[in-house]
Each structure stands twice: as C-alpha cells, then as structure tokens.
Amino acid sequence: MVNRLAPSSAFGLVHRLGHHGAVRPARIAVCERTDLALASVIARRHAERALATRIADTFALALPVTPHRCEAGGVAFIWAGPGQWLATAEGEPGHRFEARLRKALAGLASVCDQSDGRAILHIAGPRARDLFAKGLPVDLDPSVMQPGATLVSAVAHIGIHLWQLDALPTYECAVARSYAHSLWHWLEASAAEFGLTVAPE
C-alpha cells in the first residue's frame, strides 16, 4: 500500500466553521484562501527597471515600487520591501506558477515557491479595521490606507504581510504556516465582540 501526501489546511486543526461571538449578524467574515499560488520575487542587482518592463510585457501590470498591490488577469504582485514582491496566481498549482515566473523573469529576478510555506486569510467586514487595531501597530484608517495598499508588520508579535482589497474593508493576510495557529487564536479571540463568521473557502 502506497501512502501519498495530501495537502491540508494550515488552520484546519483550530478554526471552526460557523458563527462565533454574541453579535448577530457577524460584523467580520473570515475564510482561508487555498486557491492561490504564492511565490517570492526578488530583483537581481541593478535589474529592477528591466524587471518592471518584463512584468509589464508579460503580465500587463505595473510592478509596484511602493507598498501597493497590482493585479491583472488573476496574477498579482504585492510589494514586500525594496526590490521584493509576493506574487500570487489564482487557481494555479504553486510549482507551475513558480516555473512560469522563472521562465518569464530569467536573469532578472530570483523566484521561490511559497505556496506551502505561507497561509492566507481573507478577512472582510465593517469591523475588520477594529479587529486589527487590537494587535497591529499600524494605522489602517482610510485616510492612511486605501484599497490596493499593503504593509509588512506584526500582529500580536506574529509577522504578517497584509493588503487591502476594497473599501468595505476587505483584507488578505499572509502568515508563515508555522505561525498560522497562533494567528488564528488571536483573531478568534479578538473578533468575538464583533461577531465572527468562519466560512469555507
């Protein structure tokens, strides 16, 4: 009998689907994104301008050089620091996305698959900003952070990469898989007063 490894949720042992907290209807909704391929992209020395041109030609998007996320055709590049990005692709296996990036960006960037190393939460609702105010030392007020903006920081001493998708607000949050349980425990406790709905993907 052959045992095969099967993918599993980073949050599967701790998150419970359904409603949590006393408030109804819930003011925050969360689900795990398991349909995203992830890859880190780091520009080679003196190649950032050529890399931006290559990405524009290949993916029809402008490579962000400030803390922003740019998306086109299901592929996004999310600023992660000077000369660094987290690239995502919807509905594509991680190894295939990595291979596609390596081919497209050959000689201009180092690419590494992160699909199994990081977990992504989709967090939405009118009290989502208040949730993050409990643990994030960064102001998410609309006057400071608008849709498309991103940041690299920490929540309750857990490193995260956060980006805003819309004005509801809706965020997506990437965390190292080894810290997924710790982040979930913080999120569930912090969101309880607002009402939390945990949905399948």
In the chain, what are the domains? 18-34+117-198 (3.30.1360.120), 36-113 (3.30.70.1520)
What pLDDT does 17 receive? Answer: 77
Measured distance CA(168)–CA(171) in Å, rounded:
9
Q: 97 or 199: which carries more pLDDT confidence?
A: 97
Average model confidence (pLDDT) across the chain: 92
pLDDT score of 24 more than 90: no
Mean pLDDT, range 45-64, rounded to an integer: 97
Q: Judging by beta carbons within 10 Å of its beta carbon (0-12, 13-18, 19+), is residue 101 exposed, middle or buried? A: buried
Lowest mean pLDDT among 7-11, 89-93, 187-191: 7-11
